[in-house]
A and B are shown apart, each in its own frame.
Chain A
Amino acid sequence: MIKDYSPILAKAAISIKPEDILARKGSWFKFSSKWPKGSYYDWATGGVFKVSSDPILTKYPISRVLYSQDYVYLDISNQVPPGTVGATFSLQMYPADTMVIYQIVVGMRKGNYFVQLFIPKSIYVYNLGSNSIYPDITNSTYRYLGAKRPEDSPADAPLWTLYAISQQPAFIIAPYVDQGINFEKASLEFNINKCQLTAINETLTDANGKTFLNPEYIEAKEKGTLIEYYTELTGF
Protein backbone atom coordinates (compact mmCIF):
# COMPACT_ATOMS: atom_id res chain seq x y z
CA MET A 1 0.00 0.00 0.00
CA ILE A 2 3.02 2.26 0.42
CA LYS A 3 6.23 2.36 -1.59
CA ASP A 4 9.26 4.42 -0.60
CA TYR A 5 12.24 4.89 -2.88
CA SER A 6 15.66 6.04 -1.73
CA PRO A 7 16.15 9.79 -2.15
CA ILE A 8 19.23 8.96 -4.21
CA LEU A 9 16.84 8.07 -7.04
CA ALA A 10 15.91 11.75 -7.20
CA LYS A 11 19.45 12.41 -8.43
CA ALA A 12 19.54 9.52 -10.89
CA ALA A 13 17.54 11.34 -13.56
CA ILE A 14 19.58 9.90 -16.41
CA SER A 15 18.74 6.27 -15.78
CA ILE A 16 15.34 6.47 -14.10
CA LYS A 17 12.27 6.91 -16.27
CA PRO A 18 8.79 7.78 -15.01
CA GLU A 19 7.54 4.31 -16.01
CA ASP A 20 10.02 2.82 -13.56
CA ILE A 21 7.87 4.23 -10.78
CA LEU A 22 4.48 4.69 -12.42
CA ALA A 23 2.30 1.72 -13.27
CA ARG A 24 1.41 1.34 -16.93
CA LYS A 25 -0.77 -0.87 -19.11
CA GLY A 26 0.05 -4.48 -18.29
CA SER A 27 1.56 -3.76 -14.85
CA TRP A 28 0.66 -6.34 -12.23
CA PHE A 29 -0.84 -5.91 -8.81
CA LYS A 30 -1.59 -8.50 -6.17
CA PHE A 31 -3.69 -7.94 -3.08
CA SER A 32 -2.93 -9.44 0.29
CA SER A 33 -5.42 -11.96 1.62
CA LYS A 34 -5.74 -9.75 4.71
CA TRP A 35 -8.22 -7.50 2.92
CA PRO A 36 -11.49 -8.44 4.62
CA LYS A 37 -13.72 -10.88 2.78
CA GLY A 38 -17.46 -10.34 2.62
CA SER A 39 -16.96 -6.59 2.40
CA TYR A 40 -16.27 -3.83 -0.09
CA TYR A 41 -12.95 -5.53 -0.78
CA ASP A 42 -14.31 -8.87 -1.98
CA TRP A 43 -13.20 -8.13 -5.52
CA ALA A 44 -9.63 -7.55 -4.38
CA THR A 45 -8.77 -9.81 -1.47
CA GLY A 46 -6.06 -12.30 -2.44
CA GLY A 47 -6.51 -11.46 -6.10
CA VAL A 48 -4.01 -10.89 -8.88
CA PHE A 49 -4.67 -8.18 -11.45
CA LYS A 50 -3.16 -6.36 -14.34
CA VAL A 51 -3.70 -2.81 -15.54
CA SER A 52 -6.05 -3.22 -18.46
CA SER A 53 -5.58 0.10 -20.24
CA ASP A 54 -3.23 3.06 -20.31
CA PRO A 55 -3.47 4.83 -16.95
CA ILE A 56 -4.43 8.48 -16.73
CA LEU A 57 -2.21 10.72 -14.61
CA THR A 58 -4.04 13.47 -12.74
CA LYS A 59 -2.25 16.14 -10.71
CA TYR A 60 -3.89 17.50 -7.58
CA PRO A 61 -1.87 20.07 -5.62
CA ILE A 62 -2.83 20.89 -2.04
CA SER A 63 -1.32 23.70 0.05
CA ARG A 64 -1.78 24.93 3.59
CA VAL A 65 -0.33 28.13 5.05
CA LEU A 66 0.34 27.53 8.73
CA TYR A 67 1.90 29.15 11.76
CA SER A 68 5.15 27.82 13.11
CA GLN A 69 4.63 24.61 15.13
CA ASP A 70 1.11 24.19 13.81
CA TYR A 71 -0.26 21.38 11.72
CA VAL A 72 -3.36 20.20 9.95
CA TYR A 73 -4.82 16.80 9.09
CA LEU A 74 -5.41 16.13 5.40
CA ASP A 75 -7.74 13.18 4.82
CA ILE A 76 -7.18 12.07 1.22
CA SER A 77 -10.04 9.54 1.19
CA ASN A 78 -13.59 10.03 -0.10
CA GLN A 79 -15.19 9.56 3.33
CA VAL A 80 -16.45 13.10 3.90
CA PRO A 81 -17.75 14.65 0.67
CA PRO A 82 -17.47 18.41 0.10
CA GLY A 83 -20.54 20.21 1.38
CA THR A 84 -21.03 17.95 4.39
CA VAL A 85 -22.43 20.26 7.04
CA GLY A 86 -20.32 20.78 10.13
CA ALA A 87 -17.33 18.75 8.93
CA THR A 88 -14.02 19.30 7.25
CA PHE A 89 -14.37 17.46 3.99
CA SER A 90 -11.86 14.91 2.84
CA LEU A 91 -9.88 15.47 -0.35
CA GLN A 92 -11.61 12.79 -2.48
CA MET A 93 -8.46 11.20 -3.94
CA TYR A 94 -9.72 7.61 -3.80
CA PRO A 95 -11.39 5.75 -6.66
CA ALA A 96 -15.17 5.58 -6.47
CA ASP A 97 -15.45 2.21 -8.23
CA THR A 98 -14.15 -1.31 -7.75
CA MET A 99 -11.56 -2.76 -10.14
CA VAL A 100 -9.66 0.53 -10.03
CA ILE A 101 -6.49 1.36 -8.13
CA TYR A 102 -5.02 4.81 -7.76
CA GLN A 103 -1.25 5.03 -7.50
CA ILE A 104 -0.76 8.33 -5.64
CA VAL A 105 2.79 9.66 -5.94
CA VAL A 106 3.31 12.38 -3.33
CA GLY A 107 5.82 15.19 -3.91
CA MET A 108 6.54 18.10 -1.60
CA ARG A 109 7.68 21.60 -2.54
CA LYS A 110 10.58 23.05 -0.58
CA GLY A 111 9.81 24.50 2.78
CA ASN A 112 10.46 24.24 6.49
CA TYR A 113 7.88 21.57 7.18
CA PHE A 114 7.49 17.82 7.37
CA VAL A 115 4.57 15.43 7.18
CA GLN A 116 3.37 12.50 9.24
CA LEU A 117 1.28 9.71 7.75
CA PHE A 118 -1.56 7.84 9.44
CA ILE A 119 -3.95 5.16 8.21
CA PRO A 120 -6.51 5.72 9.53
CA LYS A 121 -6.15 8.66 11.93
CA SER A 122 -4.17 7.66 15.07
CA ILE A 123 -2.61 4.57 13.43
CA TYR A 124 0.98 5.49 12.66
CA VAL A 125 2.72 3.95 9.68
CA TYR A 126 6.29 5.02 10.35
CA ASN A 127 6.57 3.93 13.98
CA LEU A 128 9.01 1.43 15.45
CA GLY A 129 8.47 -1.87 17.26
CA SER A 130 8.54 -0.40 20.73
CA ASN A 131 5.21 0.51 22.29
CA SER A 132 6.95 3.18 24.36
CA ILE A 133 7.37 5.67 21.52
CA TYR A 134 5.34 6.52 18.46
CA PRO A 135 5.18 9.42 15.96
CA ASP A 136 3.43 11.81 18.32
CA ILE A 137 2.91 15.08 16.49
CA THR A 138 2.19 16.81 19.79
CA ASN A 139 5.51 15.74 21.32
CA SER A 140 8.62 17.88 20.70
CA THR A 141 10.85 14.80 20.29
CA TYR A 142 8.64 12.18 18.74
CA ARG A 143 6.94 14.36 16.16
CA TYR A 144 10.13 13.86 14.11
CA LEU A 145 9.94 10.05 14.32
CA GLY A 146 9.07 8.74 10.86
CA ALA A 147 8.47 12.23 9.50
CA LYS A 148 8.99 12.88 5.80
CA ARG A 149 10.58 16.14 4.67
CA PRO A 150 10.37 17.73 1.20
CA GLU A 151 13.87 16.48 0.36
CA ASP A 152 12.66 12.89 0.89
CA SER A 153 10.20 13.24 -1.98
CA PRO A 154 10.74 16.46 -3.94
CA ALA A 155 7.84 17.74 -6.04
CA ASP A 156 9.92 17.57 -9.24
CA ALA A 157 11.11 13.99 -8.56
CA PRO A 158 8.65 12.34 -6.16
CA LEU A 159 9.62 9.04 -4.62
CA TRP A 160 6.80 8.35 -2.13
CA THR A 161 3.86 6.35 -3.38
CA LEU A 162 0.57 5.48 -1.74
CA TYR A 163 -1.96 3.08 -3.23
CA ALA A 164 -5.70 3.39 -2.78
CA ILE A 165 -8.82 1.47 -3.77
CA SER A 166 -12.47 2.32 -3.23
CA GLN A 167 -13.65 2.46 0.39
CA GLN A 168 -10.15 1.90 1.76
CA PRO A 169 -9.44 3.30 5.25
CA ALA A 170 -8.35 6.88 5.03
CA PHE A 171 -4.74 7.92 4.60
CA ILE A 172 -4.26 11.01 6.75
CA ILE A 173 -1.31 13.25 5.93
CA ALA A 174 -0.40 15.88 8.53
CA PRO A 175 1.93 18.69 7.39
CA TYR A 176 3.69 20.30 10.38
CA VAL A 177 5.53 23.63 10.13
CA ASP A 178 8.78 23.30 12.02
CA GLN A 179 10.41 25.86 14.29
CA GLY A 180 12.67 28.53 12.79
CA ILE A 181 10.10 30.27 10.65
CA ASN A 182 6.97 32.22 11.64
CA PHE A 183 4.79 30.99 8.78
CA GLU A 184 5.20 28.47 6.01
CA LYS A 185 3.26 27.30 2.98
CA ALA A 186 3.30 23.51 2.90
CA SER A 187 2.62 22.53 -0.73
CA LEU A 188 2.05 18.88 -1.62
CA GLU A 189 1.74 17.67 -5.19
CA PHE A 190 -0.38 14.55 -5.52
CA ASN A 191 0.22 12.78 -8.84
CA ILE A 192 -2.66 10.31 -9.12
CA ASN A 193 -2.00 7.52 -11.63
CA LYS A 194 -5.49 6.10 -12.29
CA CYS A 195 -5.31 2.43 -13.22
CA GLN A 196 -8.21 0.24 -14.33
CA LEU A 197 -7.70 -3.39 -13.41
CA THR A 198 -8.70 -6.70 -14.85
CA ALA A 199 -8.39 -9.92 -12.90
CA ILE A 200 -5.88 -12.52 -14.01
CA ASN A 201 -7.44 -15.96 -13.80
CA GLU A 202 -5.49 -18.54 -11.89
CA THR A 203 -6.31 -21.23 -14.44
CA LEU A 204 -7.00 -21.41 -18.14
CA THR A 205 -8.83 -24.03 -20.19
CA ASP A 206 -7.34 -25.46 -23.33
CA ALA A 207 -9.18 -26.52 -26.47
CA ASN A 208 -9.74 -29.97 -24.99
CA GLY A 209 -11.42 -28.59 -21.90
CA LYS A 210 -8.44 -29.31 -19.70
CA THR A 211 -7.55 -26.68 -17.15
CA PHE A 212 -4.00 -25.66 -16.44
CA LEU A 213 -2.25 -23.04 -14.37
CA ASN A 214 -2.12 -19.67 -16.07
CA PRO A 215 1.58 -18.78 -16.56
CA GLU A 216 0.76 -15.07 -16.37
CA TYR A 217 -0.97 -15.62 -13.03
CA ILE A 218 2.09 -17.41 -11.65
CA GLU A 219 4.43 -14.68 -12.79
CA ALA A 220 2.15 -11.83 -11.68
CA LYS A 221 1.67 -13.41 -8.28
CA GLU A 222 5.43 -13.53 -7.88
CA LYS A 223 6.39 -10.18 -9.35
CA GLY A 224 3.32 -8.00 -9.00
CA THR A 225 3.24 -4.99 -6.68
CA LEU A 226 1.83 -6.19 -3.38
CA ILE A 227 -0.99 -4.09 -1.93
CA GLU A 228 -1.19 -4.88 1.76
CA TYR A 229 -4.15 -4.20 4.01
CA TYR A 230 -3.40 -1.31 6.36
CA THR A 231 -3.09 -3.58 9.41
CA GLU A 232 -0.02 -5.16 7.82
CA LEU A 233 1.86 -1.86 7.77
CA THR A 234 2.32 -1.63 11.53
CA GLY A 235 3.13 -3.86 14.49
CA PHE A 236 6.76 -4.59 13.72
Chain B
Amino acid sequence: MATNYTPAVVVGSIATLATVPLHRKIVPTSIIIDNQGVVVHTITFRDDFTTDAGVNNVAAAQTIQKCQYSVGAGLTASIKADELNDKEFIGALKCYADSADPLCIITVDYKII
Protein backbone atom coordinates (compact mmCIF):
# COMPACT_ATOMS: atom_id res chain seq x y z
CA MET B 1 0.00 0.00 0.00
CA ALA B 2 1.48 3.33 -1.02
CA THR B 3 0.91 6.69 0.63
CA ASN B 4 1.18 10.19 -0.62
CA TYR B 5 0.25 13.52 0.89
CA THR B 6 0.30 17.09 -0.23
CA PRO B 7 -0.74 20.49 1.07
CA ALA B 8 -3.92 21.67 -0.58
CA VAL B 9 -3.08 23.44 -3.80
CA VAL B 10 -5.17 25.97 -5.63
CA VAL B 11 -7.32 25.32 -8.67
CA GLY B 12 -5.05 25.46 -11.71
CA SER B 13 -2.16 24.02 -9.73
CA ILE B 14 -2.94 20.36 -9.68
CA ALA B 15 -1.09 18.02 -7.35
CA THR B 16 -0.29 14.60 -8.75
CA LEU B 17 -0.58 12.14 -5.90
CA ALA B 18 0.17 9.02 -7.92
CA THR B 19 0.87 8.08 -11.51
CA VAL B 20 -0.85 4.83 -12.40
CA PRO B 21 1.46 2.11 -13.81
CA LEU B 22 0.81 1.51 -17.49
CA HIS B 23 -0.82 -1.89 -17.10
CA ARG B 24 -2.54 -1.42 -13.75
CA LYS B 25 -5.13 0.73 -11.97
CA ILE B 26 -5.07 2.54 -8.63
CA VAL B 27 -7.80 2.40 -6.00
CA PRO B 28 -7.57 4.76 -3.01
CA THR B 29 -7.92 2.96 0.30
CA SER B 30 -8.02 6.00 2.54
CA ILE B 31 -8.35 9.75 2.10
CA ILE B 32 -7.69 12.04 5.04
CA ILE B 33 -8.20 15.78 4.68
CA ASP B 34 -6.94 17.65 7.71
CA ASN B 35 -8.11 21.26 7.42
CA GLN B 36 -6.37 23.32 10.10
CA GLY B 37 -6.94 26.46 8.09
CA VAL B 38 -9.56 29.07 8.82
CA VAL B 39 -11.89 28.53 5.86
CA VAL B 40 -13.90 25.66 4.45
CA HIS B 41 -12.08 23.88 1.66
CA THR B 42 -13.51 21.81 -1.17
CA ILE B 43 -11.07 19.18 -2.42
CA THR B 44 -11.58 17.54 -5.81
CA PHE B 45 -9.95 14.30 -6.95
CA ARG B 46 -9.65 13.56 -10.62
CA ASP B 47 -8.25 11.00 -13.04
CA ASP B 48 -6.14 12.26 -15.96
CA PHE B 49 -5.38 9.88 -18.81
CA THR B 50 -5.24 9.62 -22.58
CA THR B 51 -7.39 7.11 -24.43
CA ASP B 52 -5.92 4.95 -27.16
CA ALA B 53 -7.27 5.12 -30.68
CA GLY B 54 -10.14 2.67 -31.07
CA VAL B 55 -12.26 1.71 -34.04
CA ASN B 56 -14.89 4.30 -33.10
CA ASN B 57 -12.79 7.06 -31.47
CA VAL B 58 -9.44 8.75 -31.88
CA ALA B 59 -6.96 9.03 -29.03
CA ALA B 60 -7.78 11.95 -26.73
CA ALA B 61 -6.73 13.37 -23.37
CA GLN B 62 -9.38 12.99 -20.67
CA THR B 63 -9.93 14.62 -17.28
CA ILE B 64 -12.49 12.84 -15.14
CA GLN B 65 -13.67 14.26 -11.80
CA LYS B 66 -13.98 11.26 -9.49
CA CYS B 67 -15.02 12.67 -6.10
CA GLN B 68 -15.17 15.85 -4.08
CA TYR B 69 -15.19 16.60 -0.37
CA SER B 70 -15.82 19.80 1.56
CA VAL B 71 -14.12 20.07 4.94
CA GLY B 72 -14.85 22.80 7.45
CA ALA B 73 -12.21 24.90 9.15
CA GLY B 74 -10.50 23.04 11.97
CA LEU B 75 -12.00 19.71 10.94
CA THR B 76 -10.62 16.44 9.59
CA ALA B 77 -12.42 14.31 7.04
CA SER B 78 -11.55 10.66 6.84
CA ILE B 79 -12.91 8.55 4.00
CA LYS B 80 -12.34 4.84 4.36
CA ALA B 81 -11.83 1.99 1.94
CA ASP B 82 -15.44 0.82 1.76
CA GLU B 83 -16.43 4.22 0.36
CA LEU B 84 -13.54 4.23 -2.10
CA ASN B 85 -13.64 0.67 -3.45
CA ASP B 86 -15.29 1.63 -6.72
CA LYS B 87 -13.11 4.64 -7.46
CA GLU B 88 -10.57 3.29 -9.90
CA PHE B 89 -7.96 5.56 -11.42
CA ILE B 90 -6.44 4.53 -14.73
CA GLY B 91 -4.11 7.43 -15.57
CA ALA B 92 -3.03 9.68 -12.73
CA LEU B 93 -4.56 10.34 -9.32
CA LYS B 94 -4.65 14.12 -8.98
CA CYS B 95 -6.24 16.59 -6.60
CA TYR B 96 -6.79 20.28 -6.18
CA ALA B 97 -8.58 22.61 -3.78
CA ASP B 98 -10.76 25.68 -4.19
CA SER B 99 -7.93 27.74 -2.73
CA ALA B 100 -4.32 27.13 -1.74
CA ASP B 101 -3.76 26.57 1.98
CA PRO B 102 -0.59 25.14 3.55
CA LEU B 103 -2.62 24.32 6.66
CA CYS B 104 -4.95 21.97 4.78
CA ILE B 105 -3.16 18.65 4.30
CA ILE B 106 -4.42 15.84 2.07
CA THR B 107 -3.18 12.30 2.64
CA VAL B 108 -4.14 9.46 0.31
CA ASP B 109 -3.36 5.77 0.73
CA TYR B 110 -3.88 3.62 -2.32
CA LYS B 111 -3.39 0.16 -3.70
CA ILE B 112 -2.30 -0.83 -7.18
CA ILE B 113 -4.53 -3.47 -8.80
Contacts and interface: CB of A to CB of B under 8 A. Distances in A.
Interface of A: 61-67, 69-73, 109-111, 182-185, 187, 189
B49 A183 contact: yes
Interface of B: 22-25, 49-57, 62, 64, 90-91, 113
Residues of A contacting B: mostly:
strand
B90 A65 contact: yes
A62 B55 CA distance: 17
Contacts, number: 53
B54, B56, B91: residue with the most chain A Cβ atoms closer than 10 Å: B54
A187 B52 CA distance: 12
A61 B53 CA distance: 18
A70 B49 contact: no
A65 B24 contact: no
A69 B54 CA distance: 10
B90 A183 contact: yes
A182 B64 contact: yes
Given A61-B22, A67-B56, A69-B56, 8 more contacts: A61-B23, A65-B91, A66-B51, A67-B51, A110-B113, A182-B64, A183-B51, A185-B49
Contact of B54 (A67, A110, A185): A67
B57 A70 contact: yes
* 5 tightest A-B CB contacts, nearest first: A70-B54, A61-B23, A185-B90, A64-B52, A70-B56
